[in-house]
Structure 1
Amino acid sequence: MPRHAREKGPECMYHIMVRSISDTPLLFKNDADKDKFLRLVKKYQEAYLFRVYGYCLMDNHAHLIIDAQGADISRIMHGINQSYAQYFNLKYNRRGHLFQDRFKSKIITDERYLIALSAYIHCNPKDVINFTNKIEKYKYSSLGMYLGSMRDRFAILNRGFILNMFSRNLSKAKKLYWEYICTHNTSEKVIEIAADMEFMDEKADYRSERRVIIRSFTPPEVVDFVKHYIKDYDSNIIVKYTRTNMESKSLSALLLRSVCDMTQKDICSFMGNISQSHAAKLCARGIELLRKKSEYKNIITDFVDRKIS
């Protein structure tokens, strides 16, 4: 049976769930595995500028609330899942697929659903021994960060978007949100969400006052910006065999992927018929440059801010 096209849109916010395949009962065997997954979320967040409004990692599955901010959710999750599967297979000496089918996604349609969804996700640890009556202490859920009792170790969470729906006063918002969690974790709306884990396709999306990045910039704009940003005015990224400007090529490839919404095949064609594996390596190197060189860490946000200002 052919797969149905995934419902997506530039202003969409998503409930994402990933689960391990049946012959691998544990997607995360220990805390180190959960840490690795969250580090990968952070890595791809830096490249695609999406927001995370909530998450919970259980042993055999994970939930995330992702505001794609105009990026392609399929590319985001493909990068995270593929990187985690490679890590997992190498660490545990296994081969083959790790995740059950494609990741599941459901478009969040309104504010009430978003709040109820966050409650459902944050209540997941109640089935874990030692956390039944203290779900706020489960460190692989974002609930503790919402309440201020835990720090965001991976710097991936935006809690303000949902908390502001309760109150503009942070202390009051945290109190009201916790009261909501305590009184609604068995409500009909949350039970409805729990029963809806098949993630039927949705055609609506949730619009708000969020700033969505419309990723329609052109490749020449990107290349020109990168040249001036890193002061490499003589580089030519479309010369196939040159190795003298790898930083310029890597950063350009990353921005082409992130803000121009180009596929690896598109990048191959633009940069001189390089292979798709080479394009993937350039993008990966670009991400590493963002993480390792302080002078490059804001290049994507600086490009976006400059183009829309």
Structure 2
Amino acid sequence: MSRTFRLKSDESIYHVMCKSITEVNLFKDTEDKKKYLSLIKKYKTLYNFKLYGYCLMDNHLHLIIDANGSDISKVMHGINFSYAMYFNKKHERGGHLFRDRFKSIIVANDRYLKTLSLYIHNNPTDILDYKNCPEQYAFSSLAIFIGKRRDYFKLVDYGFIISLFGESIKIARKNYYDLIFMCNEEKLKQEIEFEDEKSEYKNERILLVRNFKSDDVLEFIASKMNVSKIHLCMKYSRTLVQAKALTVVLMRSLCNFKSSDISSTLGNITQARISMLSTIGINLIGTNEKFENIIGDFIKCYA
């Protein structure tokens, strides 16, 4: 059977849902769920999308993703492919883990977005231990929304959605939590069923246009790292690994470059080397305070 064409737009907000194949749980333990969140963090750094909420259950997951100019298919393929590789190696198995492709529906309006957010955060109430306290479930963003837990992975851009529930953060959080219990789960589910994908809606969100020039990236990194722009394009230099790694991340994130484009720009380096440099660059941004705002700093300079 041929695949259904996926309606998508780099300006859209998506409800993404992934399920495991019938005989296998998507997550077997806490470590698996933490790994998935770490992969969201990795690809969020790379593609600079926004995550408005999440809930990881044992056999499925929900995400609310604002593409912010990125390609949702690239984002989810990267996350799910990496996770499946990790899962199969850890649990000594082979074959498919996810049931079909991920499902996605474009969020059509603010009403749908609010309903969707409440629905995914209501999911843990199906677990007996969390029926009356879904905010205590560790792998949902609800507690972050209502200010009961720090966002340890620095994942959730909750401000946009929570602002739809009240004039102040305190009032909005109270209203939001009250609605988690007041809303009927079946009614919520009916409103957000995966049926026909809808066209996107537009509001005051500021979207990131991914049309930056590679020369600007090279110039910026050369200045930031105090190296020669010409040296960045040499085929190999051990002393320039960090500079090249950050260059790769910025080109993938902001220039919409494929590996072949980066290879041509940086001196015909291999796809495996580009992948390695990308991982190094993402780790630098995630762990080194000197580089944590480098994508934002570049945008300020060249937007």
Distance across 1 between alignment mates of 2:184 and 2:222: 52
Which residue of structure 1 lines up, in the alignment, with residue 21 of structure 2? 21
Give per-residue Cα distances to partners, 1:160-219, cap 9 Å, x unaligned: 11111121211111111122222223363x13245x23x5333x1122211110011111
Q: CA deviation at 1:110?
A: 0.3
Distance across 2 between alignment mates of 1:105 and 1:90: 27
Tell me: CA distance 1:278–1:159, structure 2 relative to 1, closer, same or farther (3 Å): same
Does the aligned pair in 2 maintain the 1:47–1:300 contact within 8 Å? no
Q: CA deviation at 1:115?
A: 0.4
Tell me: CA distance 1:218–1:132, structure 2 relative to 1, closer, same or farther (3 Å): same
Matches within 5 A, 1:118-267: 118-186=117-185, 188=187, 190-193=188-191, 196-197=193-194, 200-202=196-198, 204-233=199-228, 235-267=230-262
Unaligned 5+ segments in structure 2 are none
Does the aligned pair in 1 maintain the 2:15–2:65 contact within 8 Å? yes
Does the aligned pair in 1 maintain the 2:218–2:229 contact within 8 Å? no
Q: Which runs of 4+ in 1 moved over 6 A?
A: none
Which residue of structure 2 lines up, in the alignment, with residue 52 of structure 1? 51
Does the aligned pair in 2 maintain the 1:36–1:84 contact within 8 Å? yes
TM-score w.r.t. length of structure 1: 0.91
SS at match of 1:9: coil
Matched, 1:279 2:274: yes
Q: CA deviation at 1:278?
A: 2.2
Which residue of structure 1 lines up, in the alignment, with residue 111 of structure 2? 112
Tell me: CA distance 1:43–1:265, structure 2 relative to 1, closer, same or farther (3 Å): same
Distance across 2 between alignment mates of 1:128 and 1:290: 36
Alpha-carbon RMSD: 1.9
SS at match of 1:164: helix
Distance across 1 between alignment mates of 2:5 and 2:218: 32
Distance across 2 between alignment mates of 1:293 and 1:135: 34
SS at match of 2:61: strand
Distance across 2 between alignment mates of 1:65 and 1:185: 20
Give per-residue Cα distances to partners, 1:137-157, cap 9 Å, x unaligned: 212111122222222222211
Tell me: CA distance 1:139–1:244, structure 2 relative to 1, closer, same or farther (3 Å): closer
Q: CA deviation at 1:43?
A: 2.0
Tell me: CA distance 1:125–1:69, structure 2 relative to 1, closer, same or farther (3 Å): same
Give per-residue Cα distances to partners, 1:23-66, cap 9 Å, x unaligned: 4x211111111111112212222222221111111001110101
Distance across 2 between alignment mates of 1:234 and 1:110: 45
Tell me: CA distance 1:240–1:6, structure 2 relative to 1, closer, same or farther (3 Å): farther
Greater Cα offset, 273-282 or 32-41: 273-282
> What amino acid is the match of 1:254?
V
Does the aligned pair in 1 maintain the 2:219–2:229 contact within 8 Å? no
Distance across 2 between alignment mates of 1:166 and 1:128: 26
SS at match of 2:62: strand
Which residue of structure 1 lines up, in the alignment, with residue 11 of structure 2? 11
TM-score w.r.t. length of structure 2: 0.93
Distance across 1 between alignment mates of 2:159 and 2:104: 23
Give per-residue Cα distances to partners, 1:109-151, cap 9 Å, x unaligned: 1000000001111111121121222222212111122222222
> What amino acid is the match of 2:196?
M
Matched, 1:302 2:297: yes
Distance across 2 between alignment mates of 1:238 and 1:169: 50
Distance across 1 between alignment mates of 2:54 and 2:19: 14
Q: Equivalent pairs: percent with the same residue?
A: 42
Provide the aligned length of Structure 1 versus Structure 2.
303
